[in-house]
């Protein structure tokens, strides 16, 4: 299995996790939410919204176009800070994001 395949598999697992815990939105966000110039769109989106509306689509677009994937990638540390310690999805989400980070860093098998 190629790195691209493993990354896509991890993206699908991340989406499934959000859906399973009812954090997946079916209504499209308003266009102004995408005008942020802040990292992770901190001023316009909640952290889990950013995953659904920015990270997942952009990563899938790179994969679909067979483009190079980011190498210096670390999204999990942001979520360690952004999600409250008692957030019901925190630990599972961090595990999934750490796995994605490792794949993109070339540290995962």
pLDDT at residue 85 tops 90: yes
**What are the chain's domains?**
3-27+40-105 (1.20.1440.40)
- Confirm whether pTM is higher than 0.85: yes
Rounded Cα distance, 62 and 57, in Å: 9
pLDDT at residue 107 tops 80: no
pLDDT at residue 109 tops 90: no
DSSP states of 38-93 as a string? Answer: SGGGTTTS-HHHHIIIIIHHHHHHHHHTTPPPPSS---HHHHHHHS-TT-TTHHHH
């Amino acid at each position: 299995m190629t790195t691209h395949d493993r990354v896509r598999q991890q993206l699908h697992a991340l989406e499934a996790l959000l859906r399973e815990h009812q954090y997946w939105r079916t209504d499209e966000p308003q266009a102004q939410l995408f005008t942020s110039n802040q990292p992770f769109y901190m001023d316009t989106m909640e952290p889990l919204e950013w995953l659904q509306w920015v990270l997942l689509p952009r990563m899938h677009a790179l994969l679909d176009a067979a483009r190079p994937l980011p190498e210096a990638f670390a999204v999990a540390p942001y979520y360690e800070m952004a999600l409250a310690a008692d957030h019901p999805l925190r630990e599972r989400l961090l595990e999934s994001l750490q796995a994605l980070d490792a794949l993109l860093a070339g540290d995962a098998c």
